[in-house]
Structure 1
Amino acid sequence: MESRHFQYIRTIAETGSISRAAEKLYISQPSLSQLLKNVEKKIGAPLFDRGSQPLRLTTIGKKYLETGQHIAELETEFHRYVEDELGCAKGNLVVGSSPFRSTYFLAAFLPQFQEKYPGIRLQLAEHTSKRLEESVLSGEADLIIATQPVDTDAFAFAELYSEEMILVLPANHELSQQYHLPKDCQQTLPILPMELLKDTPFIQMHSEQKLHQQLLNICAEAGFTPKIYLQTRSMETALTLASAGLGATLLPMTLLRAFKPQTAPCYAALPTRPRRHALIAWRKKSYLSHAARAFIDALVNYCRDKGDEL
């Protein structure tokens, strides 16, 4: 099985269309159609059901991609092993992260890592929580920066740090004024009972982000279902919209320390002082190259040294 054929056929399966796959791969549709026909002729069976729109894999097609993925993973592990044998601090490393952690966490760490390991070539892959976990399980990423909970049957991980979740309200909200909530998140924050917000609209993170469910859980513990005004994939957007008066939101202190919206909101702590725990995770039982192990160790040590500054 040629790796190029596998990649092309996987793209057809992902897009459900030969024409859309050809656009994504920057090749002509006739060329891609002919390649698929040649592969099917060599196998002796169709890989797609041509009668369905979008195109669906046949049983043999599913097995083809499953086998190709396994071969690709074995080849990657072999090359990592060779890199380790020929020279320890070299190689390619794909690290998955949310845009938020890339901007406010990894950006401070990566320069010193690059200085220490100039032979390691890094690539950042930015996705939501759900896509990050899928990417490391599929082999697209070597390591990901994730948050608890993760499936311990599928992932191995090392803990990095924890961050408190803070309630953000518009400055003109009646609770902001009644409780004299501060506009500086780094001073001692007053406690605001969550049940007081049952009639307040919320700005919620997208369902592919774990903070989406964390807000629902906290509201459920307080005895109500939040009124969701809108959802966003960007924490900075959620903070800016809350500051503009569109509703309340729940965000990590890491972001609030680093990003200041043009209009200052008010901040409050919650009685339960909820936190979330950041991890560096990888696929369980996969081969960890020297580059990956060096990255894990360096990041864990960085977080330990920074302590409460994160």
Structure 2
Amino acid sequence: MLNEMQYIYTIYKERSFSKAAKKLYISQPALSAMVKKVEQKIGYLLFDRETIPLTVTKEGKYYIKCVENILEIENNMQKYFEDLGKLDSGNIVIGASSFFCAFILPKLIGKFKEKYPKVNIEVIEGNIKELKEGLENNSIDLILETAISENDEKLKTYFYKNEHILLAVPSKWEINDKLKEFQLTYDDIKERKHLNSDIKEVSLNEFKNFPFITMKKGNDQYVRGLALCKKAGFTPKSIYKIDQIMTGYHIALFTESAVIFIRDLLIINEQKNESLVYYKLDSELSTRAIYFATKKNKYLSNACKEFLKFSLEK
């Protein structure tokens, strides 16, 4: 890519002439002069120099988009030529939320590395906004998430598996005596008995007066939990609002002070405990798909394609 494009793109990323100049190892006056030369050439300003931090103009946004297209073409070309050999090397960058980074990816990567030990895999933890930005700017090759739509025009999705949201309730609570026919234990979840059609779904209305641990607004599990409660005719009384499901799980487990909507994959991957019992919920709202996703039209390396194939077969 031409130096002037690289320099302007660095200014855009750093949102500062001085920071960009430092990163590019050139003087700020020289960098400013180069940008002015480009602006004079195209006849429009690329940056609004009155804003802090620096922002791009309408014309600047178009210029940056063109630069990103060029970067993607260069990246795809490089990946293509790197892939002409056998799959005995390669690099994959995978992004996921903390849950998948902790419970799903380590096992998949471990098994994959047994087969392809020379392939280097980097994992980046982030929220869905950060992960999508990583795909967009090509710093991430592949993401694993639930909050992905098959209809997203910018993504190519690959169905991994479904997960199921259960209600976890402290086992010492008296309400459990009334609901014995609906109860599931840790061992039941581990054996996937909750997926059997003969296991009854509990009515959430039974828990309308109990305290809840909920995810914070904006999280897909918060949305689903709220929808489940509203369908049962109430709004949950939240006494803990959390960012991470593992935090909520441990609060429920050790304080035994509230109920919580919990992922079955978490229970399956956790150590056995008898402090909580579990209830199957309305299947339509409690079932959600997990997807791998890549940026549309992005060239996927042989290593990345093989990891996808390997993971989807598990």
Q: Which amino acid in the other structure matches residue 221 of structure 2?
A: L
In structure 2, the CA distance between the partners of 1:53 and 1:241, relative to structure 1 (3 Å rule), is: same
Q: Which amino acid in the other structure matches residue 131 of structure 1?
A: E
| C-alpha separation in 2, matches of 1:75 and 1:207 | 39
- For 2:36, which of 14, 33, 41 is the aligned residue? 41
* Partner residue, 2:66: 67
- Taking the TM superposition and a 5 Å limit, the aligned residue runs for 1:196-215 are 196-215=206-225
- Taking the TM superposition and a 5 Å limit, the aligned residue runs for 1:126-141 are 126-141=125-140
**In the alignment, is residue 167 of structure 1 matched against residue 177 of structure 2?**
no
Q: Percent identity?
A: 24
In structure 2, the CA distance between the partners of 1:269 and 1:34, relative to structure 1 (3 Å rule), is: farther
Q: Which amino acid in the other structure matches residue 289 of structure 2?
A: H
* Partner residue, 1:297: 309
Q: Could you tell me which runs of 5 or more consecutive residues in structure 2 were left unpaired when the two chains were aligned.
A: 195-199
In structure 2, the CA distance between the partners of 1:40 and 1:18, relative to structure 1 (3 Å rule), is: closer
Give yes or no for contact 1:93–1:142 (8 Å, CA) kept in 2: yes
- Taking the TM superposition and a 5 Å limit, the aligned residue runs for 1:261-280 are 264-272=275-283, 274-280=286-292
Q: CA deviation at 1:82?
A: 0.6
After superposition, the CA RMSD in angstroms is 3.2
In structure 2, the CA distance between the partners of 1:252 and 1:34, relative to structure 1 (3 Å rule), is: farther
In structure 2, the CA distance between the partners of 1:170 and 1:41, relative to structure 1 (3 Å rule), is: same
**In the alignment, is residue 256 of structure 1 matched against residue 267 of structure 2?**
yes
In structure 2, the CA distance between the partners of 1:261 and 1:233, relative to structure 1 (3 Å rule), is: farther
In structure 2, the CA distance between the partners of 1:84 and 1:31, relative to structure 1 (3 Å rule), is: closer
Give yes or no for contact 1:129–1:210 (8 Å, CA) kept in 2: no
Structure 1 range deviating more: 31-40 or 139-148? 31-40
Equivalences, count: 295
In structure 2, the CA distance between the partners of 1:259 and 1:39, relative to structure 1 (3 Å rule), is: farther
Q: Secondary structure at the match of 2:275?
A: coil
Q: CA deviation at 1:142?
A: 1.1
* Partner residue, 1:5: 7
Give yes or no for contact 1:129–1:208 (8 Å, CA) kept in 2: no
| C-alpha separation in 1, matches of 2:97 and 2:74 | 27
Q: Secondary structure at the match of 1:223?
A: coil
In structure 2, the CA distance between the partners of 1:173 and 1:133, relative to structure 1 (3 Å rule), is: farther
| C-alpha separation in 1, matches of 2:30 and 2:213 | 47
* Partner residue, 1:76: 75
In structure 2, the CA distance between the partners of 1:51 and 1:200, relative to structure 1 (3 Å rule), is: farther
Q: CA deviation at 1:35?
A: 6.3
In structure 2, the CA distance between the partners of 1:219 and 1:111, relative to structure 1 (3 Å rule), is: same
In structure 2, the CA distance between the partners of 1:29 and 1:18, relative to structure 1 (3 Å rule), is: farther
* Partner residue, 2:197: none
User: Structure 2 length as normaliser, TM-score?
Assistant: 0.79
* Partner residue, 2:185: 184
Q: CA deviation at 1:149?
A: 4.6
| C-alpha separation in 2, matches of 1:295 and 1:51 | 47
Give yes or no for contact 1:239–1:261 (8 Å, CA) kept in 2: no
In the TM superposition, structure 1's runs of 4+ consecutive aligned residues that sit over 6 Å from their partners are 28-32
User: Structure 1 length as normaliser, TM-score?
Assistant: 0.80
In structure 2, the CA distance between the partners of 1:262 and 1:57, relative to structure 1 (3 Å rule), is: farther
| C-alpha separation in 2, matches of 1:143 and 1:174 | 46
Q: CA deviation at 1:29?
A: 12
Q: CA deviation at 1:261?
A: 9.0
1:91-139 superposed Cα distances (whole Å, 9 cap, x missing partner): 2211111221122111112122113223322111111234323322332
State the structure with more CA Rg.
Answer: 2
Structure 1 range deviating more: 159-168 or 202-211? 202-211
In structure 2, the CA distance between the partners of 1:34 and 1:121, relative to structure 1 (3 Å rule), is: farther
Give yes or no for contact 2:148–2:291 (8 Å, CA) kept in 1: no
Q: Secondary structure at the match of 2:63?
A: helix
Structure 1 range deviating more: 103-112 or 192-201? 192-201
Structure 1 range deviating more: 71-80 or 41-50? 41-50
1:171-218 superposed Cα distances (whole Å, 9 cap, x missing partner): 454534543586832326774311223333332234454222221222
Q: Which amino acid in the other structure matches residue 187 of structure 2?
A: Q
Q: CA deviation at 1:297?
A: 0.7
Give yes or no for contact 2:211–2:259 (8 Å, CA) kept in 1: yes
- For 2:204, which of 194, 201, 218 is the aligned residue? 194
Q: Secondary structure at the match of 1:287?
A: coil
